[in-house]
A and B are shown apart, each in its own frame.
With several copies, the nearest count.
Chain A
Amino acid sequence: MTNARRDFRDEELLADVIARLIGDVRHIAVGNASPIPATAALLARERGKGRPYVSLLQSRKHNFFTDGARELFDCAGQGRIDVFFLSGGQIDGAGNVNLVSTGDYEHPKVRFPGSFGSAYLYYVVPKVILFRVEHSRRTLVPKVDFISAPGASAGNIYRPGGPIALVTSRCLFSFANGRFTLASVHPGHTVEEVIENTGFDFERPTSVPKTPAPTGATLTLLRETVAPQLAEVYPQFAAQVFGIGQAAVAQ
């Protein structure tokens, strides 16, 4: 690898990449078991000096909802959630995500937990960021075995939302017109490695940029300001990545 000395962790890079994708929006919601997207959302809020609103669904502190479990979906249906994150047991080159099973649906080989809210949120949230750390031919497949939610829809289907990007441990893909394009390769990884480990076809420019490393200012913000907030919801993650103990949980 051409990197000299890395002064950041993978999680910090990924959070920085995601925070840039978020852009200038009013409200980000982050679902369950998503510590890196949650880190990115809190980072975006710090950079925006309080904007956007961030709803961490597992948090009590960073959670504005008071109308029960359906409010997230109602809120998204109202157009009030600008960014959401989805993952998938399988993701294919058309942006379809599979959270259900592999093999035949009636006689599956592997069963995943289920579609959660994907079959709705993928359609109505303007910026859905796909996030899957494991970048392999097992996860990034030519065609998913079960479509929990499709990457694109016919013109007469109500669909103000959809995928804008896919972030993995190796690279960033952007998504437009029903296809992924390799947007940048993370420090320490190569285009060839991405091609080798990706099961679907994707576009790529003749010269693929390198994902910029997080700046010193970003790392300071992450470590000193974001990490303590994260510890309420993801204590193990905050401890492991940022060395934050429970005592440091911010008010």
Chain B
Amino acid sequence: MRVNMFQLAKSLDEALAALTDGCMLVVPREVSGVPMAATRALIRRGVKRLHLVALPTSSLQADLLIGAGCVETLETSAVSLGEFGPAPRFTAAIIAGAIKMKDATCPALHAGLQAAEKGVPFMPLRGLIGSDVLAYRDDWKVIDSPFGNSDPIVLLPAIKPDVALIHATMADRFGNVWIGRQRELATMAHAAVKTIATVEKIHDGNLLDDPVLAAGTLPGFYVESAVVAERGAWPLGLPDYYAADADHLAEYAALAATEDGFAEYLERYVYDKRAA
């Protein structure tokens, strides 16, 4: 008999309850299944003072949260709308000094999350020495490797988010979430205290019962809550399932170029719940 400690959330808002003002929130890069429906719900709720860690980069998600005033600190390697140009609200916030920016480089963020995953206080990383990325991070240390002979190396502190927020293809009623090749989602869940997942659909049965599905599954043991949000990555894509909505992203890029346009975007696509 397999017993079940897990309960699917009844609504997106209920699933997001553990994500509170001021928390450290880790989200995946723009192509790994970005929980956009959940992001819109957070903006509607008016979440505040987030320490947002985007692993290792972000596009629309970070730009929206920043523009809506939800972010106090941003830790990432880049924010950009890709072929749709710079991320306008991110750029404006940096120029205005409205958010605290912790510039990183992609593998440093992966290493910081892996340190938390392994329960160690830091992780070493090559590169970085001589860059201004390192120069402006007083939380990163350089030591002389005890295995070398005058061999300086950077140590990065563990990044331990309060919440990991992910979107994936499917979950089952045991809280297991199928993440496929997006294995950084597993690292995020391991590193974070709590993980919240939105999914396209519910898988009947237990994902761990099938060895092929199990290989791409994040065990429910790490998952605080899960809820269905169909096309929950829209207007971004979900790998192997649907592509990004290029027209919508172009519309966003055009509107978000100004504060008024961004407010109009929020009104139309975020506050109007029908679009969520």
- A contacts B: CB pair < 8 Å: yes
Residues on A lying within 8 angstroms of B by beta carbon are 27, 32-33, 45, 49-51, 53, 58, 60-61, 64-70, 73-80, 99-101, 105-109, 111-124, 146-150, 153-154, 156-158, 225, 229, 236, 250-251
CB of B76 within 8 A of CB of A148, answer: no
- Minimal Cβ-Cβ distance residue in A for B56: A69
CB of B78 within 8 A of CB of A157, answer: no
CB of A116 within 8 A of CB of B57, answer: yes
Q: What is the bound-complex CA distance between A148 and B3, given in angstroms?
A: 36
Partner of A68, one of B150, B184, B222: B184
Interface SS of chain A: helix, strand, loop or mixed? loop
Q: What is the bound-complex CA distance between A65 and B220, given in angstroms?
A: 10
B29 lies within 8 A of chain A by Cβ: yes
Q: Mark B28-67, 1 if CB is under 8 A from A, else 0.
A: 1101100000000000000000000001110000000000
CB of A65 within 8 A of CB of B181, answer: yes
* B26 CB to nearest A CB, Å: 12
Q: Tally the A-B contacts, defined by beta carbons under 8 Å.
A: 190
List A contacts of B127 (CB < 8 A): 119-124, 149
List B contacts of A64 (CB < 8 A): 208, 219-221
List B contacts of A121 (CB < 8 A): 127
Q: What is the bound-complex CA distance between A68 and B56, given in angstroms?
A: 11
Most central of B78, B150, B186, B217 by chain A CB within 10 Å: B78
CB of A67 within 8 A of CB of B183, answer: yes
Q: What is the bound-complex CA distance between A72 and B130, given in angstroms?
A: 22
CB of A156 within 8 A of CB of B152, answer: yes
List B contacts of A106 (CB < 8 A): 97
A99 with B78, Cβ < 8 A, contacts A66-B217, A67-B183, A120-B106 known = yes
* A166 CB to nearest B CB, Å: 19
B247 lies within 8 A of chain A by Cβ: no
CB of B106 within 8 A of CB of A68, answer: no
Q: What is the bound-complex CA distance between A251 and B135, given in angstroms?
A: 46
A113 with B80, Cβ < 8 A, contacts A68-B181, A69-B56, A146-B132 known = yes
Q: What is the bound-complex CA distance between A68 and B208, given in angstroms?
A: 14
* A82 CB to nearest B CB, Å: 12
B203 lies within 8 A of chain A by Cβ: no
Q: What is the bound-complex CA distance between A112 and B125, given in angstroms?
A: 24
CB of A100 within 8 A of CB of B190, answer: no
* A88 CB to nearest B CB, Å: 13
CB of A66 within 8 A of CB of B5, answer: no
B139 lies within 8 A of chain A by Cβ: no
CB of B3 within 8 A of CB of A45, answer: yes
Partner of A73, one of B110, B116, B222: B110
* B66 CB to nearest A CB, Å: 12
Segment 86-101 of B: residues with Cβ below 8 Å from A: 86-87, 90-91, 94-95, 97
* A27 CB to nearest B CB, Å: 7
List A contacts of B130 (CB < 8 A): 147, 150, 153-154, 157
A78 with B119, Cβ < 8 A, contacts A60-B239, A115-B103 known = yes
CB of B106 within 8 A of CB of A113, answer: no
Q: What is the bound-complex CA distance between A112 and B94, given in angstroms?
A: 10
